[in-house]
Amino acid sequence: MCGRFSLFNIAHLTEAYPYDLPEDAQPRYNIAPSQSILAVIDDQGHKMRYFRWGLLPFWMKQMSAGLINARGETVDQKPSFRRSFADRRCLILADGFYEWRKEKQGKQPYRFTLTERKVFAFAGLWEPWTSPDGDTIDTCAIITTESNEVVRPVHDRMPVILPRALEDVWLDDETAVGTLKQYLVPYTEGPMEADPVSRRVNSPMNDAPDILQPPVEY
């Protein structure tokens, strides 16, 4: 699964994704479910918008935490995701993600990045959800797949990272579902790194650069 990620390289974000950045965009070091996250959609041109992380299917009657991940193997079959996969795909922007490995001192968080430390895009889905009061919320989920050789020692799943060459195809309404499924594979387009970080990342209340520090040795 993918339950936490970061997006603080704002300089590269605006260079790599030159769309209108929301005025209130801030560096984020510890993005957690139910929070607002930046994503790109194709709405008569590429647009960057905020979405609530935790997809709520249109038929859900009450607000909940939502579904933060969708398994790539079954995303086109599950009722919760099938319609979004066909019609509402997005690029969820990040510069790293976290997973935890059980060690002697407890669960140790690791941050995974591209070696170049650049911003990249997760394959995402989005869905507008209307509350019983008539308020509409745009919600989203990250698609996951089996881990590559970098992530596997820590966790058996990882988010689908789309190569830059496939991002526009992912957003294109004309791309066939069968073609889209071929993209839901472990990332192998370039080197990745895994770095142990502070256990302060365990709490979503901690959203500052110090969570990237190496763990304290006991």
Residue 216 lies in a domain: no
Average of pLDDT values for 103-111? 91
Taking residue 158's Cβ as centre, other Cβ atoms within 10 Å add up to 24
Q: Is 90 a catalytic residue?
A: no
With respect to residue 215, please indicate whether it lies within any of the assigned structural domains.
Answer: no
Q: Residue 134 half-sphere exposure, CB side, CA atoms within 13 Å?
A: 0
Query: Which residue among 2, 90, 127, 167 is the active-site one?
Result: 2
Give the domain extent around 68: 5-203
pLDDT for the residue numbered 217: 65
Distance CA 216, CA 218 (A): 6
Question: Which residue matches tokens 């969820």?
Answer: 92
pLDDT at 218: 46
Q: How many domains does the chain have?
A: 1
State the catalytic residue, choosing from 90, 99, 127, 140.
Answer: 99
| Domain containing residue 187: CATH number | 3.90.1680.10
Identify whether 44 is part of a domain: yes
What is the pTM assigned to this prediction?
A: 0.96
The whole-chain average pLDDT of the chain stands at: 94
133 found inside a domain: yes
pLDDT, one tens digit per residue, over 31-77 is 999 999 999 999 888 999 999 999 999 888 887 889 999 999 999 99
How high is the pLDDT of residue 79? 95
- Domain contains 89: yes
